[in-house]
Every structure is written in C-alpha cells, then in structure tokens.
Amino acid sequence: MKIAMIGCGKLGLPCAEVMSKHYDIVGYDIIKDPAAEIPMLDSIKEAVTGRDLIFVAVPTPHDPQYGGSKPIADMPPKDFDYSIVQQVLGEINQYVNKSQLVVLISTVLPGTVRAHLAPKITNARFIYNPYLIAMGSVKWDMVNPECLIIGTEDGSRTGDAGLLIDFYKPIMENNPQINVGTWDEAEAIKIFYNTFISAKIGLVNMIQDVAEKNGNINVDVVTDALKAATQRITGPRYLTAGMGDAGACHPRDNIALRYLAERLDLGYDLFHAIMHSRDRQAKNMALKLVALAKEHNLPVVIHGRAYKPYVEYTIGSYSELVGHFVEEAGVEVAYADPLTGDVWSGPAVILMAHNPAVTYFGTGVEIKPEQFYFVIEPGSIILDPWRTINQVSGSKVIHYGNTRLQ
C-alpha cells in the first residue's frame, strides 16, 4: 500500500518513519524536518495523490494558558481547538476519491468526529484511529501498542476497519487487544484512557502527601501492595508516587472533559477534582522545597525542566508547576536540563524531577547512564520524589513520601 502522513510533527513523523520500514510512505507538514527519514513533499495535494491510506496527525490544541505549567484547575472549561484539523481535512477532500481511506489520529472529544470532522470528508472513506503513544518512546509504542483503537461510523469491524487492522499487523511486534467501535466510542476510549492515568497519578500522589503529613509511612510499601492487587486495580503502571501528570495531552484532556461534562449536563465535574489535586500536590511539594531552602540557606534547583526526560518540550511541565509555587512562596527557583538549555552549578536544594529509569521502565527506551544533569556539590540537599537515589557523596538525600522512622 502507498501511504501519506499529513502532519509530520513530534507524533506524526516518528510514526511515519516506523511505517516506512514496511510501506511506501510520504509526508507533508508546513514545517519540514531536515532530519526526516521519509520523503517530505511540498503540498497536501502532492502528498495525497495516489495514496491508499492518508493518515492525519495534526494538532487539536488548547489555548497555551491551559498547558499545565501553571495552576489550571479553576480556569473555565474549554474544548480543544479543531480549526486546524477541519482546515486540513477540507483541503484533503479536494484531492481524494472513494478508493482512498482518510485516517484521523488526532485527539478529540466524543461526538466531534460525527458532528464536525467526518462531514469534511465527502470524496473519500473516513475512519478514526487515535494512538496511545507517549513522547520520548513514540517509535517503541508504535510497534508495541497497548491496544488498537479503531472507530467507524457504525462500529463495524469489517471493511475499512479490517483493512486498517491488516495494515498494522506487520508493524506490530506484540499482539495487542484490538478495539473497534463507533467513532464516538473510539473518541471516548482515547480521552478516558488519558484521564484514567491522570486520576491514577493523582491518587498515588495523594498517598505520598498522606505519608508526608501523617508520618511513619513509606509510600512505596502502600503502592507496591496496590500494584499487586490485579484482580480489581488495573495494572502496576503509574502506581509509583512521584511527580504529577504532565505533558501536552493529559492536563489539557481533563480540561476538555470538564467542558464535556458541562455540555452534556452530567451534574458533576470529576475532572475538576483531578486537576485541583494535581495543582495542590505540586504546591505541597513546593512548600517542602521552600522549607528546606530556608532551613539550610540554599537556593532551590529543579533537576529537569521539560515535562519528562529525553524530550525538549516544557508544555504541561510539572517541574514548572512546582517551580511556580516555589516562586509564589517568595523563593527563587532555577532549573537544570540540557535539552532546555538550563544549567546549574553549586550546592542547592535539588528536586530530582527527572528519573528516566522510572519514566521509561518497561518501554524498551534506552536508559542512559548519566544520573545527574550537573555535578552535585557537597552540602546539597536532594529531595527525591521517586525514592531511588540512596546516597550522594557529601550531600543529604531525602526520600519524598517516605516518613518512616529510620
């Protein structure tokens, strides 16, 4: 099959490069990546002409102030911005025919495809196929998907859904569950998958807060017990307390679901509670840093500014959210992260926000040997929210969330 990827950014391009190992694929984006491993064409028309499958991976952004690097729980609920995807689908429709299948993978709220996006494609066939992929491990996730999500107009598994399943078979190295439903069901699987993770992280970080305030609790003893409870609690991933939910998707997805709850008049707003918990947990961590900084007369430095290790993006950064609350308490904060250009030297109270071994555990992403972004000077205080660092010469290590008497 001949494939096109429209939207070759941080998601579309690595996915297209994986596809290129099995299929003839070209790409288009308004910004060409000079390092792209696939041919990048000059227009949508050129990219889609003669292609069997046309994947669309363009953004459905929120207003930048909803990113999550500052408190967002009490901001007005707001839907995603669908203007870019609508414009792109409309342009694609001018150059396609019924022998071609347009596959949208962008995140949208339930009901959006049926009401606003599928009607843009009248000259070709259309299917909704969102991905469960994380930045930093996109290519690994692409070949080892937790599941496939395929949405058709009526939920039929035959026809185009079957074609898409067959398309992915040579790409996948595992044998994932395949979920085929209506457009609306596929939208719901994607968005609620993300917010389940947000809720899970919020809950385990609440246990961390309880450990800090109650005392005599090692949060890992509690969460390890929950991880083993696989009959009623789903899976061990995201059940390690530490930094909060972050990135370009999860915080904003909860804001969008607040909008959906209001639009559908559900009568309650669970998602506000999730986002309020995220904000408050960051503030609790910040106040711990502030107390340590004042006690030891040291500056506060956050180890890792991007929202996760190995990526340069700060959108939705939990590190910056913690830093916001440190500054709100009247203490200056600095960052150390080679991918964002932040450097530091000297003793400090250091929040070890980035821990690749925790973040990428089980994903197959290479864990680099460097543990620290800078030399830890003697006299530093290290606050480790992941509780994996046991000793640093000349410095004191505090395991945030472990208040057992030592």
Structural fold of domain 217-399: Rossmann fold (3.40.50)
217-399: same fold as 2-191?
yes
pLDDT at residue 369 in the model: 67
Residue 293, SS3 per DSSP: helix
Residues sharing a CB contact under 8 Å with residue 380, sequence separation 6 or more, in sequence order: 298, 347, 348, 349, 350, 392, 394, 395, 396
Residue type, 140: W
Residue 373, SS3 per DSSP: coil
| Domain ranges across the chain | 2-191, 217-399
| CA neighbours closer than 13 Å in the CB half-sphere of residue 261 | 17
Q: For 27-36, give one letter per residue: b (16+ CB within 10 A) or e.
A: bbbeeeeeeb
Give the integer Cα–Cα distance in Å for 130 and 12: 12
Structural fold of domain 2-191: Rossmann fold (3.40.50)
pLDDT at residue 334 in the model: 98
Q: Is 110 exposed, middle or buried (0-12, 13-18, 19+ CB in 10 A)?
A: buried
For the chain, helix, strand, coil in percent to 5 are 35, 15, 50
The model's pTM? 0.81
Cα separation values, 213 from 203, 217, 275, 402, Å: 15, 9, 21, 10
Beta strand 177-182 pairing with 147-152: parallel
pLDDT at residue 62 in the model: 82
Q: Please list the pLDDT of the chain residue by residue as tens digits (406 residues).
A: 999 999 999 999 999 999 999 999 999 999 999 999 999 999 999 999 999 999 999 999 888 888 889 998 898 998 999 999 999 999 999 999 999 999 999 999 999 999 999 999 999 999 999 999 988 899 999 999 999 999 999 999 889 999 999 999 999 999 999 999 999 999 999 999 998 899 999 989 999 999 999 999 999 999 999 999 887 777 777 888 999 989 888 788 888 889 988 998 989 888 899 999 999 999 999 999 999 999 999 999 999 999 999 999 999 999 999 999 999 999 999 999 999 999 999 999 999 999 998 888 888 787 776 779 999 999 999 999 999 999 999 999 999 999 986 5
